[in-house]
Amino acid sequence: MLPKPRADLVANTWDYENQPLVKATGFREYDARWLFGPDINLLGVQALGLGLGTLIHDMGQKRIVVAHDYRFYSLSIKQALTLGLVAAGCEVLDIGLAVSPMAYFAQFDLDAPCVAMVTASHNENGWTGVKMGAQRPLTFGPDEMGRLKDIVLGARWAQRPGGSLAHIAGVAERYIADAVSRTSIKRPLKVVCACGNGTAAAFAPDALRRMGVAVVVEMDCELDWTFPRYNPNPEDAVMLHAMSQAVREFGADLALGFDGDGDRCGVVDDEGEEIFADKIGLMLARDLSSLHKDATFVVDVKSTGLFATDEVLRANGATTVYWKTGHSYIKRKTAELGALAGFEKSGHFFFNPPIGRGYDDGIVAAAAILAMLDRNPDRKLSDLKKALPVAYTSLTMSPHCPDEEKYGVVDGVVAEYTALRDADGTILGRKIADLITVNGVRVALEDGSWVLVRASSNKPEIVVVVESTRSDDDMRALFHQEVKPRLARRPQIGAYNQEI
């Protein structure tokens, strides 16, 4: 029997090689993320598999798809996870190297209720993790993650006979064929496909060509787990700037960028301008609401406030619901409401039938964007962007904050903004019109501008976004004169990953 996991093991010791290391901080709100080595070892991953197998048995399931992303350690982690799942009596279907949406697709393709995708997503090298689900197309939320944490850390797993492992071929081809079936482009387009040398590089260029893209310009589409140019994260300024440069160099109609596990899509227009995913979501919502009257859309609290005021959405009878940031939260809310689509500023797009299957998929999102352009043959992507109301939205900025401190920090910020509102205080001369506190705090000002402070769900960071309805300078002032000084008063706050 595997020993109870410990949190105090150190590499290059006898105990590290013979006992499971699992630090509690790796169990996030809706998936699991650890630094491989100092936070979890292979025996710890095996313990995770035993715990996950026990949990899904408790949920009345045993058939589970497993897959891994393209990092040098991901295969070994998947194999350790599989050992635990088999010991727990699970029927494991291994589809090999995959993007996360391919693993979600395999749940439908192979009639498997459960999934465990070994991926650190867009996190830097050194990180690993698992995205899990037991009710397609949904992934775990805080309840399931809390139960899993209790089982694993308490060694409350149950070994069962009857476990098995099968290696399944052909899923990748069926996944691409299914994604390609979502659109067939007649308009001749030149598209930069940016993959940051991550897992999507094995699939996205082929998928775009098969959708009918006339010219696919491959950018960093060689698999390379060292990520030599930049981290595959289309919300990161470095990747977006590289995409922008490629659009200008090749005279492309747009660039589509995919993150490390292929469930997110970033966009640069024909003028080389970066379009944040919430604005792309608004463009898609305008387009789709004209085809599907009275549609409902779900957006996360990091997204632009324009969804709530857009005249085109109002004319088409569309309804928009703001909800918690996080792929699991938006996915669940989109399913719960029967929404046509859900959008996250980070680049997660969720499309329910007839457009998609409900899970986040960067390639299906690319198909939806290309289909929108095909339906507007006389307009460039920059034209569709310029037709939107004006709002000046910042990058997503994340100062370091320890996992054990970040929620307390955010609670303190929420209390400060609540007190400021109750005292009729102002921010840069504007009264607070509303506080949305479903996920940290989004402070809406009387002119429609807003600031957001929340705890990251998967890294030791605070997340900051600001938006101004006035000007780019005002947007920067909201950050530099309001949010940054407020956070800087707290000693737990460290350096930012990027700033405006």
Catalytic residue ranges: 121
Burial class from Cβ neighbours inside 10 Å (0-12, 13-18, 19+) for residue 165 reads middle
Decide: helix, strand or coil at residue 479. helix
Phi/psi of residue 15, nearest 5 degrees: -60, -40
Relative to beta strand 215-219, strand 296-300 is unpaired
Asked whether the beta carbons of 104 and 361 are under 8 A apart, the reply is yes
Asked whether the beta carbons of 54 and 146 are under 8 A apart, the reply is no
Q: Using CA atoms, how far apart are residues 460 and 313, in angstroms rounded to an integer? A: 37
Classify residue 292 by its DSSP letter: S
Q: Using CA atoms, how far apart are residues 154 and 160, in angstroms rounded to an integer? A: 18
Q: Using CA atoms, how far apart are residues 236 and 268, in angstroms rounded to an integer? A: 13
* Tokens matching residue 165: 């492992």
Question: Is the preceding peptide bond at 137 cis, omega within 30 degrees of 0?
Answer: yes
Q: Using CA atoms, how far apart are residues 378 and 339, in angstroms rounded to an integer? A: 29
Q: In DSSP terms, which residues pair with 481 in a beta bridge?
A: none
The Cα angle at residue 351 between residues 346 and 353, in degrees rounded to 5:
175
* Tokens matching residue 328: 């699991």
Classify residue 24 by its DSSP letter: G
Question: Is the preceding peptide bond at 485 cis, omega within 30 degrees of 0?
Answer: no
| Residue 104 CA: distances (Å) to CA of 175, 205, 277 | 10, 20, 22
Q: Using CA atoms, how far apart are residues 261 and 259, in angstroms rounded to an integer? A: 6
Burial class from Cβ neighbours inside 10 Å (0-12, 13-18, 19+) for residue 68 reads buried
Closest CA to 497 of 123, 26, 70: 123
Phi-psi region of 336 (alpha: psi -120 to 50; beta: other; left: phi over 0): alpha
